[in-house]
Amino acid sequence: MSDAQRYLDESAVLFSADEVDAAIARVAQEITQTLADSKPLVLCVMNGAAVFAGKLLPLLNFPLEFDCARATRYHNATTGGEILWKMFPDADMRGRTVLLFDDILDQGHTLAEISKKCREAGASRILIAALTEKDTGCDKPVRADFVGLTVPDRYVFGCGMDIHGWWRNLAEIRVMKD
């Protein structure tokens, strides 16, 4: 059996595809109510937020500019390390509202660093939309303005979140069994 299959076999569904889609639809409504008149720059934090962005963007029926940022602490591992920058957008952020899309707000270090770089680039307002937020019980350096689902302080994957590089493509969110 491959490692990828073993991860799937040793996990359980935490949120079904229907539950994920309903959460994304709710987040889209909240974002629209908040940002419909602001023409924001939306930044997808790659690779994790690709699935979230792909499902969320078509539900935002207002003008926006879209780009990507890529910074990681995980490097296909299950614990975070130092921030590694792979890409930062060249879009003009001066005086703009920037909306960051991410798959999970875990400890918040990556989103804090991306937010900092956006402020340094001149963004006037930075908001965060996270598909999931991990209930760690600890203070985080940033908070999400829009959260789809709260997940327990356990390893989760699917819907853009990976386990050792596998299973970002799952429609549901899974949790490793104890």
Average pLDDT, the chain: 92
For the purposes of burial, counting CB atoms within 10 Å of the CB of 51, is it exposed (0-12), middle (13-18) or buried (19 or more)? Answer: buried
Distance, in Å, from the CA atom of 86 to the CA atom of 157, rounded to the nearest integer, reads: 22
- SS3 of the chain: CCHHHHHHHCEEEEECHHHHHHHHHHHHHHHHHHHCCCCCEEEEEECCCHHHHHHHHHHCCCCCEEEEEEEECCCCCCCCCCCEEEECCCCCCCCCEEEEEEEEECCCHHHHHHHHHHHHCCCCEEEEEEEEEECCCCCCCCCCCEEEEEECCCCEEECCECECCECCCCCCEEEECC
Q: In this structure, what CATH number is given to the domain that contains residue 13?
A: 3.40.50.2020
Digit-coded pLDDT (tens) for 27-75: 999 999 999 999 999 999 998 999 999 999 999 999 999 999 988 765 5
Distance, in Å, from the CA atom of 35 to the CA atom of 40, rounded to the nearest integer, reads: 7
User: HSE (CB half, 13 Å, CA atoms) of 125?
Assistant: 12
Task: Specify the higher pLDDT residue, 178 or 131.
Answer: 131
> Residue 160 — pLDDT band, cuts 50, 70, 90?
very high
Query: Range of 130's domain?
Result: 3-176
Digit-coded pLDDT (tens) for 67-107: 999 887 655 555 556 777 778 888 899 999 999 999 999 99
Q: How many domains does the chain have?
A: 1
Question: Taking the complete model, does pTM exceed 0.75, yes or no?
Answer: yes
> Residue 178 — pLDDT band, cuts 50, 70, 90?
confident
pLDDT at 97: 98
Digit-coded pLDDT (tens) for 109-123: 889 999 999 999 999
